[in-house]
Chain A
């Protein structure tokens, strides 16, 4: 059983919601990201989404764009991200890691090399924002052959027929985009999220997690009630942006960055 499947099953048995923080790999630097990953697991993260820095993040809002720019300023590349996962696995063989990013760095590395390296590093899932199912057959097939999940997005604008096709392809979990917009935008329409999630429940047994626009305990709890888990990204990256020295220098810095995740964990645990 894959790490994602084990984590999902464990959460289900315990009646827990999945908490999935997102970090831009290399923001502010790779050593800090490694510490943050372990720190987030310590604070109750179930799965970590690791953003692959890309020069043109056209689905991301300003907070993650700036995180990406910080990572790129230090030259962080896809190979660094894969090395980071391998490094993380030295101390943590359990927590699933999902790479999230845009297709071009993977195209340029080549699918064969990417899949082999990702598998060897201990990557559990891949979510490519600008690779919808119609364009994903080749990479999806190669990932599947190595037991790595391909995770797809469903958006408020996704038609019912399309949602059905996406759920039938998805493995790992299904990522529901809570709003029409970019990462970090304000989430306002809770009711329509509830309706969409209910419709998706009829299509798949996969866990459904909600992302985009979840920024604190309150919004996490509201969305956690509707789904099996939440992704929290911009709020975390914002904290990293405000580090006084622009790098992780002390355990106090680590506490500062991950504190909100502990609060969100508590809020999610109250849902039961």
Chain B
């Protein structure tokens, strides 16, 4: 690797949210019931102390190297590049991490926080099951009790991940309220936290929720962008011209983008799930087609109707099927530092096949949204330019979904 320091910790000048009250411009903040305020304030205090402690980051980096298997490669996708006929396309291989996605970077960090805080019980919410699996994994690794809240409908759709979590010793709790999906699982996790606040640590799976979650999840995920920086300089000789990542809650995207925010020549594209199209109601693209509101502890762009009710979302990818988005993304949208765009179910499915066939890499359906947009973007760029896609997860979990949609019986 080059002389760029990829060790964790340290902060970035400028674009340096959140402020001392936990806000990214008008977004973020702490919008939770009074019962939880003490817990989030304690977390903010502990995190502030540990974030300034080199030993904490050494502990984190050790786990990333020896348990997660970092650094993940930056891979030149030669045949995809040729097929698109433009910029050289590189893939950041988060799919090669232990448990198959970027989610583990965050759960390792938060589980270490939980241990430092003396909490013995972990709770988490999950949609597709990836964050639930990553939470159950680190809970097993650190010997912590783990309860994962999951929408009743998602439990049916994601049976293999439910079994994985159970194998790992987690208790999977079915949530039958509301729309029976990720947002309802998050509501139920918040209720559990309020009821068991003394001994429980809530591992939120994305860069959303009350402060300090958007900050600390980002800090844990920034290892992605720091590695890409160093790898780009070493392998390409300069920084990439563009970065592309899918955005559900937005943790893999912010992890890639954040270490480049000060680099004016690096364009950034966050790709939301356009589902059946942004002109329909069946999508999950709050930044592209939503408006600011308050949900799950923070002010951010939301999928909300005219009466302020949270809308049910749709995406072929369960990991993007969430009505909110991290507040830092909301801020970066307003600041116009990041371009937020969208890819439809169909485009993502086509990209899923394209990458699999051209590179022998099966991407998660979430990451396929980034691949879909990046392929079009690359075509408009020159071969001298380079583009990095965050391949945030592998698609093994999605093959049944893809087969079902395409009418194939396994």
Contact = CB atoms under 8 A, between A and B. Distances in A.
A104 B29 contact: no
Which of A65, A152, A185 is most buried by chain B, counting CB atoms within 10 A of its CB? A65
Nearest to B188: A58
Contacts, number: 125
B405 interface: no
B191 interface: yes
B287 interface: no
Interface stretch (B192-200, B214-222, B368-376, B390-398): B192-200
A54 interface: yes
Nearest to B184: A56
A55 interface: yes
B308 interface: yes
Contacts of B360: none
Interface in B267-312: 291-297, 299, 302, 304, 306-310
A103 B198 contact: no
A245 interface: no
B308 A78 contact: yes
A157 interface: yes
B37 A158 contact: yes
Contact of B194 (A106, A162, A181): A181
Given A56-B295, A109-B308, A153 B33 contact: yes
Given A55-B310, A77-B307, A107-B308, A180 B33 contact: no
A56 B194 contact: no
A138 B77 CA distance: 51
A107 B309 contact: no
B29 A56 contact: no
B50 interface: no
Chain B contact residues: over half helix, strand or loop, or mixed? mixed
A231 to B, nearest CB: 14
Nearest to B22: A134
B309 A105 contact: yes
B182 to A, nearest CB: 11
B35 A157 contact: yes
A182 interface: yes
A58 B32 CA distance: 9
A157 B291 contact: no
Given A132-B31, A155-B35, A158-B34, A58 B195 contact: no
Contacts of B178: 55-56, 65, 69
B2 interface: no
Contacts of A247: none
B38 interface: yes
Contact of A106 (B190, B196, B308): B308
Contacts of A79: 307
Interface in A91-127: 102-109
Contacts of A54: 308-309
Contacts of A129: 33
Interface in B32-52: 32-39
Interface in A150-171: 152-159, 162, 166
Contacts of B299: 107
A108 B306 contact: yes
Contacts of A162: 37-38
A72 interface: yes
Nearest to A66: B177
A229 B316 CA distance: 51
7 contacts: A54-B309, A56-B184, A62-B177, A129-B33, A132-B32, A135-B29, A155-B35
